[in-house]
Every structure is written in C-alpha cells, then in structure tokens.
Amino acid sequence: MLAKRIIPCLDVHAGKVTRGVQFGKAEKGELRNVGDPVECARVYDAAGADELVFLDITASSEKREIFLDVVRAVADQVFIPFAVGGGVRSVEDYRAILLAGADKVAMNTAAVENPAMITDAAERFGAQCVVVAIDAKSEFGIQNSKFGNRKSKIENRKWQVYTHGARVPTGKDVVEWAREVEARGAGEILLTSIDRDGTRDGFEIELTRVVADAVTIPVIASGGAGRIEHFADAIIDGHASAVLAASLFHFGELTVAQVKEYLASRGVAVRR
C-alpha cells in the first residue's frame, strides 16, 4: 500500500537552514539559524523522513550558486527524494536544479505569471518533477463565520492564490488554479495555508480537502503543524497524500519517527 509521506521542510538562507515565523521575514532578520543543510538532511533521512523539501528563501541571483552547491551536496549524500523551490523563474532554472541533483522542482510565482512554463517543464523533464506550490489565503476570515448560517459559509469558503512569498494577491481561486496546474501537467501540488503557516494551530483541513478532492495528482499539506494529531487530521480528514512541517522537526519537538508511529496507530499506512 502506498504510504503517506512525512516531509520535513528546510528553509535555506545564504547556505544555512533557517526558520522564520510566517512568510516574508527574511528581510526583517527574523530568522533563526538551525544548521547545516546536509547535516539536517542526513538526520532527517536517518529519522525516517520520506522526502525533503529545500526552499531557497534568499532566491537572489547572486546567491543562487551557493544554493545550488547545497543541492549538490545533499544529492551526494542523501538517498531519498528531495524537492527544491524558491526563486524558480524559468525552465533554465529548472534544468540547473535538476542537474544539481534535485528530484523535483517547485514553482510558485513563476507558474502564476507564466502558466505555460508548467507544461514546458513537464514536457522537458517529466511531470514527476514538476511541483506547483500554491500559497492559499482564506477569502473569508474567521470573523465572517458569525454572520448567517455557519454551515453554508463553510460550503462557500474560498481561498485566493498569493505569490511573491504570500505578499501579492493574484485574484485566482485556489481550487480552480489547482485544477489548471494539473491540466497543464504538474505532477504534484504543495499547498500552503498562509493563514496557518507558522501558527501551529494545525493544517487548514477544509482547504486541503477541497484541493485534494479536486485533483487527481497528489497534494502535500503545509502550514500550521503544531501537534502530532494535526498530521493525522491532514491525511484522514484533509485527504492529503503527504504532510510537510518545518519548525516542529527542526527544534526537535517531534521526530519523524514519532509522527509515523502515531499515524500508524491511527490506521494510516506509513513507511517504517
């Protein structure tokens, strides 16, 4: 049986793994260094991580080489799949990252600005390596749920796609965009709830479920992991194929092995 995947995410800034709280904090210096990317990757591999995601949160062209060196070093020493994202602007960027040894490349802003790039990348490199990252923000905040019938509000919930590190609204509906990226050839969706990212309040289950149910490609739930139960919620209720978390794992509050043991106790297939 196909196992649900647990994916630690590593934010890489100037060659080091860091973690900020919520999007867009690199500029403000609100980042904590937590280590060497290769060492982190090795530790996660040994702990049973099914896959890794490296996000280049510097993503400036002059720092690109440093990041590609990180990718090469990881690929040389870790024998599980890993994806790379952040600042991917072109099919040439794709190629450079894949040649450096990544298995998948996630694009976000570039996919919105130039959706044809999804198809280009899928045709040139195969859909298996094309991950479209979707940053989703709820259109109706919690405050709106006090109006009218709560149930109908929930049925009508909408999420909007944001780009540029969750700063720029695009006017695109998340579910429609998810369907479009699938139709254009994406092999997987990395779905992040902007509202939940960094809060530890749990993954946004409704968002995860509506997107996972709208497409046939796998969906990775991201943003908000705070407790071990949250992982089961995202998989069992959110229908996610994989769950991603960063700070929980980095700071050692939970290990991948603990999460897997818990998921197994809830009847979820995991690789152990």
- Shortest CB 76 distance to another protein, Å: 6
Based on the shown chain and the rule CB under 8 A, indicate whether residue 45 belongs to the binding site for another protein: yes
Buried b (16+ CB within 10 A) or exposed e, 75-93: beebeeebbbbbbbeebeb
Question: Which residue's CB is nearer to another protein, number 50 or number 56?
Answer: 50
Based on the shown chain and the rule CB under 8 A, indicate whether residue 267 belongs to the binding site for another protein: no
Question: Which residue's CB is nearer to another protein, number 26 or number 268?
Answer: 268
Based on the shown chain and the rule CB under 8 A, indicate whether residue 5 belongs to the binding site for another protein: yes
- Shortest CB 216 distance to another protein, Å: 6
Based on the shown chain and the rule CB under 8 A, indicate whether residue 43 belongs to the binding site for another protein: no
Count of residues of this chain found to bind another protein when the rule CB under 8 A is applied: 31
**Which residues, 6+ apart, have CB-to-CB distance to 269 below 8 Å?**
1, 2, 3, 4
Distance CA 1, CA 241 (A): 12
Pair 187, 131: CB distance under 8 Å: yes
Residues 114-143 that bind another protein (CB under 8 A): 123, 125-129
Q: Which two tokens stand for residue 270?
A: 């995991």
SS3 237: helix
Distance CA 29, CA 89 (A): 24
Judged by CB under 8 A, the stretch of 10-18, 45-53, 134-142, 168-176 that binds another protein is 45-53
Residues that bind another protein (CB under 8 A): 1-5, 45, 50-51, 75-76, 79-81, 98-99, 101, 103, 123, 125-129, 187-188, 216-218, 241-242, 271
